[in-house]
Amino acid sequence: MAKLNPTLSILFWLNRQRSKNETFPIYSRITLNGKRMELCTHLYLNPSQWDQKNQRVKGTGEQARKINIFLTQISGPLQGLYTKLSLLESPISLEILKSTYLGKKINQRSLLEAFALHNQRFFEKVASGRNSDRTYKKYEIVKEKVSSFLKEIYKFNDLPLSQIQFSLTSDFEHYLCNVTKIGNNTAMKYIKITKQVLKFAVG
């Protein structure tokens, strides 16, 4: 358990009451002044890969590294938020900590959520005759390719926009050309669409 201060602690564990394809979700339990709240990270893992003592994924591979960084990015902001509220001498409770933390996260879309919203709005234009159905289907294909890429390469079901790095497009290009074996021109079109969706998401 990560002791952040005398009254705040964060524990990560596999919730074995919920399963998905023989994997289990990683949960976070935040305890403050004896009260608890739980958050699902939406990351699934095989039990053999989980080190409960250290509350991290075993090994030094790419999947372990990315998930462990993600877990740190949960505990770090919570610690920072508690410290900030303490310095401001603001009243601190689990409810305040939870609402403030989730309030900062609520508007942060994920990559696939951004695709879904972008494509839905484009479909509405198709329905009104302003765009072609062929282009819409292309957007849907790219969304599925991105979903497969995240699962196969990053080992994530989705990725928060706040965690996207510059290497994503080059990783995606490598996946398209070397794993799915599609042509370079098609790969470049898919990457262009992905950048368009990202621009839409942050615009």
pLDDT digits (tens, 9 = 90+) for 2-35: 444 447 888 899 988 887 778 899 998 888 878 8
pTM comes to 0.50
Do 96 and 7 share a structural domain?
yes
Count of domains for the chain: 2
8 A C-beta contact, residue 101 and residue 75:
no
pLDDT above 80 for 201: no
What pLDDT band is residue 203 in, cutting at 50, 70 and 90?
Answer: low
pLDDT recorded at residue 106: 39
Backbone phi and psi for residue 63, each to the nearest 5 degrees, phi listed first: -65, -45
Cα gap 176→182, rounded to integer Å:
6
The residue out of 105, 121, 154 marking a domain boundary is: 105
The residue out of 57, 80, 105 marking a domain boundary is: 105
Do 96 and 164 share a structural domain?
no
Do 154 and 81 share a structural domain?
no
Instruction: Kindly report the length of the chain.
Output: 203
Each residue's pLDDT tens digit, 118-175 = 999 899 888 888 888 899 999 999 999 999 999 999 888 888 776 777 788 889 999 9
- Give bridge partners of residue 38 from the DSSP assignment: 29
The residue out of 105, 120, 149 marking a domain boundary is: 105
Report CA-CA distances (Å) from 91 to 8, 94, 104. Answer: 14, 10, 18
Query: Residue 69's domain spans which residues?
Result: 2-105
Do 96 and 14 share a structural domain?
yes
pLDDT recorded at residue 1: 43
Do 124 and 100 share a structural domain?
no
Do 129 and 91 share a structural domain?
no
Do 88 and 139 share a structural domain?
no
Do 12 and 86 share a structural domain?
yes
8 A C-beta contact, residue 149 and residue 172:
yes
In sequence order, which residues have a C-beta less than 8 Å from that of residue 66 and are 6 or more positions away? Answer: 154, 155, 156
Do 117 and 98 share a structural domain?
no
Helix (H) or strand (E) holding 95: helix 94-105
Do 126 and 73 share a structural domain?
no
Do 198 and 116 share a structural domain?
yes
Residue 57 identity: V
Do 142 and 95 share a structural domain?
no
8 A C-beta contact, residue 104 and residue 74:
no
